[in-house]
Chains A and B, each alone.
Chain A
Amino acid sequence: MMPTEGWRRRVKRNERRFELLSFAATIVGLIVLATLVIDVLRNGLPRLDWQFLTSFPSRRPENAGIYSALVGSVWLLVLTAIVAFPIGVATAIYLEEYAEPGPLPQLIEVNIANLAGVPSIIYGLLGLELFVRVFYPITGGRSVLAGALTMALLVMPIVIIAAREALKAVPTSLRLGGYALGATRWQVVSTLVLPSALPGILTGTILALARAAGETAPLITMGALTYVAFVPELGLEGLRSPFTVLPIQIFNWVSRPQAGFHVNAAAGIIVLLALMLLMNAAAIVLRNRYQKRRTG
C-alpha cells in the first residue's frame, strides 16, 4: 500500500505546523519578558535621576525616592550572605566530604530538597514567630537582623545545592594526592578541595543572593516596614533597626492609586532589575575568569 501524494503532503504540512507551534511556545515567554522590560523602561526611565536615588520616601511622588530602600536592601544582602554562606558551605562540605552513607545524611538531603519547595511566605511566618518574637532580646523585633536571618534560611538550600555541585566537580585524584602526602581530612578539604571549588561556590552564592534581593513576601510577613524615612546607622545598633527593602518599596508604590507613584514604582523596578543584573553578571564573570584561568 503506497501512501498517496495528498496524504504525504498533509503529513508534511502537519509536521511544519507542529514545529512552528512548539517554537512559538518557546518564544512567547520571551516576548512577554521583552514587553515587560520595555513597559517598565518607558514609564520609569524619565523618573530615574540622582534625586530619586538619594531621597527618602514622601507623600508627594515627585519628592519621593528609594534611598532608605536601597540601603536596606544592601544591609539585608550583606547580613544574609554572612549568615547563609558559612552554614551553607559547611553543610555542603559535610554532605560531600564527611558523611558516610546512612540514614542521617539521607534525612538531611531529603530535608534540603523539601525546604527548597516550601513557599517563601511560609519562611516569613517562621521569621515572624522565631526571630521577631522569640529572639526579641537579640534581634530587637522587626529589625534588619531578623529579616536577614529569615532570608538566610530561605536561600540556604540554594547555597547548599550550588556548593555541593562545586565540590562534586573537584576530581578525586586531588584528594587522593593530599591523603598520599599524609594530610588529614580537614587539611585535604581546606587546602585542596575548597580553594578548587570556591569559584563555583561563590557563583552559586551570588545567584542565591540575587534571588534574595527580589524577595518581597517573607519580609512583609515578618514585618518589615513599608514606609521608612531613615537608614540603619552603621554599627551593631543598626542591626536592630527597622528597615525596608527595594521590592517592598516598589510594592508600596504599586498599591497606591496615584499615577505618580506608579511611575516611581517603574523607576524602582529599573533599579532593582539593574541590581539583580549586576549580581548575575558578577557571577558569570567570576565563572568565566575561572574557566579561562583553568584552560590557560
Chain B
Amino acid sequence: MPPPETPPVRVAPVFQFPARRTAPQPRAAPSTGQARFLPAGRRGLKIREALIHAALLGSSLISILTTIGIIAVLIFETFAFFRQVSLWDFLTDTQWTPLFADKHFGIMVLASATFLTSLIALAVAVPVGLLAAIYLSEYAPDRLRQILKPMLEVLAGVPTVVYGYFALLFVTPLLQTFIPSMSGFNALSAGLVMGVMIIPLVASLSEDALYAVPQSLRDGSYAMGASRAQTVTRVVVPAALSGIVASFILAISRAIGETMIVAIAAGQSPNLTLNPFVPVATMTAYIVQVSLGDVPTGTLEFRTIFAVGMTLFLMTFALNFLSYRIVTRFRQRYE
C-alpha cells in the first residue's frame, strides 16, 4: 500500500467557506501585447512605484482603523454610560427597564436570554454538526460529499431575517400544537432555528479537523480489529478534538451575536428566566428594539445600546480568541 498522505492542518480562526480538495488551478496566460513594458524614465517609475506602495499600505491600514474605530466608539459611549450607572448595578441588578420611568440596568436579564437561546441553538448545532462532519469526512463517497457540502453551506447563506420569519410563523405554531401553553414569542423556536443556521459552521470546521487526522491512525485502529464506528469515535474524533472544540466555541460566539432570529421570534420583553416557552429579550434584540424607536442620540437610553454592544463585543472576542488559541496550541502533530 502506498504511504498515506498527510494533508496539512488548516487553521481557520474564523469561519470561511472551505476551498480544500479542489486542486489549485493553473491560470490562463495573459494575452500577448498586454505585457509590454515601456522603458519610461527610471526615476519617474521609481516615484510611481513608491506612491503605489504607499497607497496599498494605506488601504490595508483601513482594516486596522476599523478595529480601532469599533473599540473607540464602544469605549467612548460605554464610559459615558458608566458615569451615570454604576458598574455594580449593571452586573448585579435583576431588572432591565431602561425605557421606563423607574430605570434599572441589570445586564443579567438580557444575558440570561442570550444564554438561553444560545444554549438551545448549541443543543441542535453541536450534535448534528459533529455527526454531519463525521459522515462527510469518514463515510460519504467523494461524489456525494461534493454535492452535500455546498448544499449544507447554503444553510449558512440564508438571510437571518428569513430564518426569523420561519421561526415565528412556522416553527412556533408547529410547536404550539404540542405545547399549547407556549407563547407566540419564545426562546425555544428562535434557538432551534438558530441551531439549524449554525450547523454548517460546526460541520465544516469539524470536518476539516477530522479530515486532517492522518490515515495511519485509522489503519492502526483497524489493524487492532476495531470496527469503523469504533475507529471514528475512539480514535479519529479524539485525535481531532482541538479542532472540534474550536468549532463549538466559534458556534457559541456566532449564536451570541445572532440578531434577527431572536429579535423576531424570541420577543422583546426583558425577563430574567430560563423558561424557553416565554418571551425574552436578548442583548442583540434589545439593541434592535432601541434602534427602531426614536431614542435621541446622547441620552442614557441611547448609551445603553453601546454598553450592551460592548458586553457583546467582549464576549465574542474572548470566545474567538479562545477558539484560535485552542487550534494553535493543542493541535496534535503526527509526523
- A53 interfacial by beta-carbon distance below 8 Å: no
Scan A178-210; emit 1 where CB is below 8 A from any B CB, else 0: 100111111100011001110000000001001
- A108 interfacial by beta-carbon distance below 8 Å: yes
A25-B306 Cα distance, complex, nearest whole Å: 39
A residues near B123, Cβ cutoff 8 Å: none
List residues 12-66 of chain A with CB under 8 A from any CB of chain B: 14-15, 18-19, 21-30, 32-33, 35-36, 39-40
B residues near A40, Cβ cutoff 8 Å: 162, 165-166
A36 and B35 in contact, given A169-B25, A196-B27, A262-B169 (Cβ under 8 angstroms): no
Is the CB–CB distance between A121 and B259 below 8 Å?
A: yes
Closest Cβ of chain B to A273, distance in Å, is 7
Is the CB–CB distance between A98 and B313 below 8 Å?
A: no
List residues 240-269 of chain A with CB under 8 A from any CB of chain B: 247, 250-251, 254-255, 262, 265-266, 269
List residues 310-326 of chain B with CB under 8 A from any CB of chain A: 312-313, 316-317, 320, 324
A130 and B56 in contact, given A14-B229, A216-B260 (Cβ under 8 angstroms): no
Partner of A39, one of B154, B155, B166: B166
List residues 262-293 of chain B with CB under 8 A from any CB of chain A: 263-264, 284, 287-288, 291-292
A174-B30 Cα distance, complex, nearest whole Å: 9
Give the residue name and chain of the A residue nearest to B16 (CB): A161
Give the residue name and chain of the A residue nearest to B57 (CB): A94
A73-B120 Cα distance, complex, nearest whole Å: 33
A35-B132 Cα distance, complex, nearest whole Å: 19
Give the residue name and chain of the B residue nearest to A210 (CB): B157
A91 and B59 in contact, given A115-B67, A119-B316 (Cβ under 8 angstroms): yes
A185 and B170 in contact, given A29-B199, A121-B309 (Cβ under 8 angstroms): no
Is the CB–CB distance between B63 and A91 below 8 Å?
A: yes
Closest Cβ of chain B to A104, distance in Å, is 8
- Chain B interface size, under 10 / 10 to 19 / 20 to 34 / 35 or more: 35 or more
A220-B154 Cα distance, complex, nearest whole Å: 24
Is the CB–CB distance between A113 and B13 below 8 Å?
A: yes
Scan B180-213; emit 1 where CB is below 8 A from any A CB, else 0: 0000000000000000100110010000000000
Is the CB–CB distance between A36 and B162 below 8 Å?
A: yes
A121 and B284 in contact, given A22-B132, A29-B200 (Cβ under 8 angstroms): yes
Give the residue name and chain of the A residue nearest to B259 (CB): A217
Scan B240-264; emit 1 where CB is below 8 A from any A CB, else 0: 0000000000100100111110011
B residues near A210, Cβ cutoff 8 Å: 157
- B53 interfacial by beta-carbon distance below 8 Å: yes
A residues near B128, Cβ cutoff 8 Å: 25, 28-29
A114 and B132 in contact, given A125-B309, A254-B169, A269-B162 (Cβ under 8 angstroms): no
A residues near B26, Cβ cutoff 8 Å: 171, 294
- A11 interfacial by beta-carbon distance below 8 Å: yes
- Chain A interface size, under 10 / 10 to 19 / 20 to 34 / 35 or more: 35 or more
A residues near B288, Cβ cutoff 8 Å: 121, 217, 220-221
B residues near A108, Cβ cutoff 8 Å: 60-61, 63-64
A171-B76 Cα distance, complex, nearest whole Å: 47
Give the residue name and chain of the A residue nearest to B131 (CB): A25
Is the CB–CB distance between A186 and B48 below 8 Å?
A: yes
Is the CB–CB distance between A221 and B27 below 8 Å?
A: no
B residues near A111, Cβ cutoff 8 Å: 63-64, 67
Is the CB–CB distance between B161 and A254 below 8 Å?
A: yes
Closest Cβ of chain A to B282, distance in Å, is 11
Is the CB–CB distance between A118 and B70 below 8 Å?
A: yes
A156-B66 Cα distance, complex, nearest whole Å: 10
Is the CB–CB distance between A126 and B131 below 8 Å?
A: no
Give the residue name and chain of the A residue nearest to B290 (CB): A221
A residues near B16, Cβ cutoff 8 Å: 116, 161
List residues 14-35 of chain B with CB under 8 A from any CB of chain A: 14-17, 19, 24-30, 34-35
- B159 interfacial by beta-carbon distance below 8 Å: yes
Scan B51-82; emit 1 where CB is below 8 A from any A CB, else 0: 01101110111111011011001101100000
B residues near A195, Cβ cutoff 8 Å: 30, 34
- B136 interfacial by beta-carbon distance below 8 Å: yes
Is the CB–CB distance between B312 and A122 below 8 Å?
A: yes
Give the residue name and chain of the A residue nearest to B25 (CB): A169
A18 and B229 in contact, given A178-B35, A221-B291, A291-B25 (Cβ under 8 angstroms): yes
Scan B150-175; emit 1 where CB is below 8 A from any A CB, else 0: 01101101111111111011100000
Closest Cβ of chain B to A220, distance in Å, is 5
Scan A145-189; emit 1 where CB is below 8 A from any B CB, else 0: 000000001001100110001000111001000100111111100
Is the CB–CB distance between A29 and B63 below 8 Å?
A: no
Give the residue name and chain of the B residue nearest to A22 (CB): B135
Residues of B within 8 A of A (CB): 13-17, 19, 24-30, 34-35, 37, 39, 45, 48-49, 52-53, 55-57, 59-64, 66-67, 69-70, 73-74, 76-77, 127-132, 134-136, 138-140, 148, 151-152, 154-155, 157-166, 168-170, 196, 199-200, 203, 227-229, 232-233, 250, 253, 256-260, 263-264, 284, 287-288, 291-292, 297, 305-306, 309, 312-313, 316-317, 320, 324
With contacts A121-B287, A184-B37 known, what are 5 further pairs, Cβ within 8 A?
A26-B203, A113-B13, A115-B67, A191-B34, A191-B37
Cross-chain pairs A/B with CB under 8 angstroms, 14 sampled? A15-B228, A26-B132, A26-B135, A26-B140, A90-B56, A93-B56, A111-B64, A117-B14, A117-B317, A121-B257, A122-B74, A129-B76, A183-B37, A254-B264
